[in-house]
Amino acid sequence: MTSPLTDLLLMGRGRDLASERGVSCDGELPPASDPHLVERAHAARKALGSRAMILGHHYQRDEVIDFADITGDSFKLAQAAASNPEAELIIFCGVHFMAESADILTTDDQKVILPDLAAGCSMADMAAANQVHAAWAVFEKLGIAARTTPITYMNSTAAIKAFTGEHGGAVCTSSNAERAMSWAFEQGEKIFFLPDQHLGRNTAVLKLGLTLEDCVLWNPWKPNGGLSDQQLLDAKVILWRGHCSVHGRFSLENINDVRARVSDVNVLVHPECQHEVVSHADFVGSTEFIIRTIEKSAPGSKWAIGTELNLVQRLARTYNDREILFLDKTVCYCSTMNRIDLPHLVWAMETLAAGRLVNEIRVDPATTHHARVALDRMLALP
């Protein structure tokens, strides 16, 4: 269990404590200045052998990616863990909701480890379960709940995935949000989209042909979500007031600036960006889409990319015959993703190799059941 102070800090950020946490590395973390750190990492990895599988999200630091068995986005990594039941230990170098998803999809015999328990996701934490249930109660009072299908982005807590599954909805990724929302409209008249307002709005307007007026924004900190009853009755998509702290930084000013500075530049952004940014970009897609687009691009082509800086820098180094820029001139990493560093990974691997289970992320059975229902609905989409 975590300390009372840690739990208070986690709850203060709005995180749903639907999963149990192990003991963190207080006083045991090797210093980043340790000259033998890489050597220790290799030794610990060798000691763990096939018992362990290390998953590295695309936004991780290079020093962590170097030790990942598989790299990818959150859902790809969770699926990879589920497809390898022989791996007893799943060391997930990502953030908390990703480790939860891996625990939901893996067997009871597998243990999912998050090297730093403080590695959360600000977007996921913007939708607390009690707030979402309170919003649904308003929908029930208005008589629209039965005609509303919840869709939650993969970047949400297990508790929100469970809410979605329990109320007839599905999970979506940034790659299949259009498919998921189209499916939702086949189930009912309205969509309740959680927790990323930008992905929901961009998909509804730019992919499904709805108008901005068809979408309303539910603010959990205001009575009735800050909306009138009539606005809720008229809306086709009710968006939760959440966003990605990294992708939300990019602006139309950034696009205009890079186009003025770099001739023939291609602007490539993630759909978690603001609507006006996505509307003015040349290419829009998921993290995997961004990587594939650069892989297929011609030598000498120019790209300004609006996504997490670790990935942009890695692409620039890998494809150095292309001009690849970070869309925002201000350097900005995902601060919570960057909490997973080599010292935390070494500590986790060495402790596990010594036979002590730490930082296990374990979702309770009831939450797991309903969250799995929502994930299975996504997997069953045509």
Same domain, 19 and 116: yes
| Domain total in the chain | 3
Cβ neighbours around 259 below 10 Å, total? 15
Same domain, 181 and 282: no
- What backbone phi and psi angles, to 5 degrees, belong to 32? -65, -20
Domain boundaries, position 277 = 247-326
In-domain check, residue 146: yes
Same domain, 269 and 306: yes
Contact 160, 16 (CB under 8 A): yes
In-domain check, residue 43: yes
321: helix, strand or coil: coil
Measured over the CA atoms of residue 205, residue 125, residue 364 and residue 80, the dihedral's sign is: positive
State both tokens at 247. Answer: 């992708």
Question: What CATH number is given to the structural domain containing 305?
Answer: 3.40.50.10800
Same domain, 236 and 252: no
In-domain check, residue 133: yes
In-domain check, residue 215: yes
In-domain check, residue 381: no
d(CA 362, CA 111): 8
The closest of 171, 177, 175, 179 to 154, measured between CA atoms, is 171
Q: Is the peptide bond before 4 cis (omega within 30 degrees of 0)?
A: no
Same domain, 33 and 109: yes
pLDDT tens-digit profile, the chain (382 residues): 333 323 323 333 334 444 544 455 655 889 888 999 999 999 999 999 999 999 999 888 999 999 999 998 888 888 899 899 999 999 999 999 999 999 999 999 999 999 999 998 999 999 999 999 999 999 999 999 999 999 999 999 999 999 999 999 999 999 999 999 999 999 999 999 999 999 999 999 999 999 999 999 999 999 999 999 999 999 999 999 999 989 999 999 999 999 999 999 999 999 999 999 999 999 999 999 999 999 999 999 999 999 999 999 999 999 999 999 999 987 777 877 878 999 999 999 999 999 999 999 999 999 999 999 999 999 998 7
What pTM, to 2 d.p., does this model score? Answer: 0.89
In-domain check, residue 376: no
d(CA 334, CA 304): 18
In-domain check, residue 374: no
Strand 148-153 and strand 89-93: the pairing is unpaired
Same domain, 302 and 228: no
In-domain check, residue 331: no
